[in-house]
Structures are given as C-alpha cells and as structure tokens.
Amino acid sequence: MSDRQHVRMWRWCLTLLEIASSCLEVRAAAQRPSSMILGNGTEKIGHSMKILVPQRDRVMHWPMTASASASFSAGNVNFNDTWEWDGDNWTQVADNGPSARGGHAMAYDSSRGRVILFGGDDGQNSFGDTWAWDGTDWTQEEDTGPAARTGHAMDYDRVRDRVVVADGAAKSIGPVQVTVWVSGWFGSGHYETHTEQQMKVQYLNDTWEYDGSVWTRVADTGPEARWGCGLVFNGKTMILFGGKNDTTFFKNTWEWDGKHWTQRQDIGPAARAFAALAYDSARERAVLFGGTGQSLFGDTWEQFFQPEAVKDG
C-alpha cells in the first residue's frame, strides 16, 4: 500500500468560546502564562499587552491613550505607566521609559528575556523609537530602523530569533494650503488661500526584522498598505490578518516565512481591523476575537493547520 501524502491547509473556524474582554488569554502548555506587561495607552483603551518572562510569572501592561476608539484623532490623554499582573493583582512597576503614546506594539523576545516596544503616536505625530523592558527597567534601543508609525503589527519569531514589524500608518501634523470660496453680496464672492494645520496619514506595507541589536528591512511587497492588522507567530510562520486603510477593511490572511509573503484563502472572519489575535500553543491554534469594521464584532475565530490526505496515484 502506497504511503499517503498530506497537505497542510489553513482553516478558519468560528468557535463558540465565550470571552469576556478583547484581551485574549494565551494558554501556555503545562504552565501559567509568564510575565506580561501592559504599557502606554489611551485611558487604558487600546493598550498593548504581551507575555513577558515565564520565570517571573507576571503579565505586563503598558497602556495607550484616553479615547473611546482607536483613531487618528488629536486630543487624546496619553499614559506612560507600566503595570504587571501576577494572576491576582495589578502592580505599577514604572512610570518612566517610553514617552506617553498609543498605537504602539510590543512583543516578547524569549531568547533575551525582554519585551520589545516599537512605535506609536501621541495623537499628532508617530514615533520610530525602540525600547526594551527587562522586568525592572526600560532601556532605549535602536533609534534607526523602520519609519515612525502607529497601528502596526508586531510579534516575535522564536524559531528565527527575530521581532517582526509589518505595515502601520505614519501620521503627522503639518501645514497645508487650503483654498476656500468666500461669498459676497448677490452671489458674488472670491477665493482665498490660507494655511492651516492638518493631519497627514501615509499607510505603509513594508516588513522589518529586529535581531536584538539591528533593524533590517526585509520586504516592501506583500499585504496591501494598512494599519490595525494582527500579526502572530504560530510556531512555524507569522500570520497576518485584517487591517484597514481609508477606504477598505481587509479580510485576507497572509503568511510570512522569513523571506516571502504568501496570501492564504479569504474564507474566514469578516473584514475588520484592530481585532485581538494571539496563539494558543497548547492547542496549536491562532485565536482571533472582536475588532471593528462596518460594525463592532464580538465573535471568536480559530485558525489551524488541518492535514488533508492526498489520494494515491
């Protein structure tokens, strides 16, 4: 009897898991989640949270900005405090380090035992700085690398020992020449030109990797330029889902193998941005919850490799 060959196929499955919040709990095999940090944010909305150090048994949080939604609006109240969750209580562990911001991303570098933070914005301008949290202090790392951005996707590839950053949006406040019609009497009028400050937004689609010392640009093709997408390492490759630009919410799934982006099937969650995406290593599932699109979502999806037998002959 001939040996059967198997082809690994991606499957998105809607699950009935009930999740109380948009922060996914990542189950670690045979142990509690390690340290997690919460850092910088908008009145704790849109904060960034990542697993930190298994030995310290903490969750770290660094919040974002105070606004009702993730948006390119100025006037947010930003925070720069750092908190840790030990499974029972929150403890503030720092109020210095990266400047107050939102829209940043964090990833846990398990090889070096530290959390890497990159980018974000203060409501007017994007940041391009890189910081590392070792469980005690923040240290600023490279200030050269990816262009300043916010709302980007980021995670750590533990097989290749690289932090990966993809997409995002660069925003800034700058002078713009505006021409307006000034009405006069009896239908008369004239045009006037003046300068005003306006938000400028550029969506990005480049991919960068950080080896713990140096940022390297590794791709400028792949997923369409967007922000608000999710990125997670599934133990083999990076998976990117969703995001948006000014006109489109995306529902496509992309895979990054360290050299190339490959688009997978579009069958799965509805188009959305700013969904929570994490990897459940115990069950080998990427888990997605919520997000915003034509409406707010409260559904939960799982993605996994499903072996599919190929017939002999």
Q: Does some domain include residue 239?
A: yes
Q: Does some domain include residue 92?
A: yes
Tell me the pLDDT tens digit for each residue of 29-38.
Answer: 333 334 444 5
Q: Does some domain include residue 196?
A: no
Together in a domain, 312 and 263: yes
Q: How far apart are CA 195 and CA 186, in angstroms?
A: 28
Together in a domain, 99 and 210: yes
Q: Say what the alpha-carbon torsion angle 20, 21, 22, 28 is, to the nearest 10 degrees.
A: -70
Q: Does some domain include residue 197?
A: no
Q: Does some domain include residue 198?
A: no
Together in a domain, 153 and 61: yes
Together in a domain, 60 and 133: yes
Together in a domain, 132 and 252: no
What is the domain extent for residue 250? Answer: 1-27+229-313
Together in a domain, 53 and 118: yes
User: Tokens 């720092």 label which residue?
Assistant: 94
The pTM score is: 0.77
Together in a domain, 159 and 118: yes
Q: Does some domain include residue 233?
A: yes
Task: Please count the structural domains in the chain.
Answer: 2
Together in a domain, 145 and 209: yes
Per-residue pLDDT of the chain (313 residues; tens, 9 = 90+): 444 433 444 567 776 543 333 334 333 333 333 444 455 554 434 455 554 444 455 656 555 443 322 222 334 688 899 998 888 999 999 989 999 999 999 999 999 999 999 999 998 899 999 999 999 999 999 778 999 999 999 999 999 999 999 999 999 888 888 888 888 888 788 889 988 888 889 999 999 999 999 999 999 999 999 999 999 999 999 999 999 999 999 999 999 999 999 999 778 999 999 999 999 999 999 999 999 999 999 999 999 876 544 444 4
CATH number at residue 54: 2.120.10.80
Together in a domain, 237 and 301: yes
Together in a domain, 43 and 109: yes
Tell me the pLDDT tens digit for each residue of 233-281.
Answer: 999 999 999 999 999 999 999 999 999 999 997 789 999 999 999 999 9
Percent of the chain with pLDDT over 90: 56
Q: Does some domain include residue 191?
A: no
Together in a domain, 163 and 38: yes
Q: Does some domain include residue 269?
A: yes
Give the pLDDT of residue 52: 45
CA dihedral for 193, 202, 44, 212, sign (positive or negative): negative
Together in a domain, 239 and 288: yes
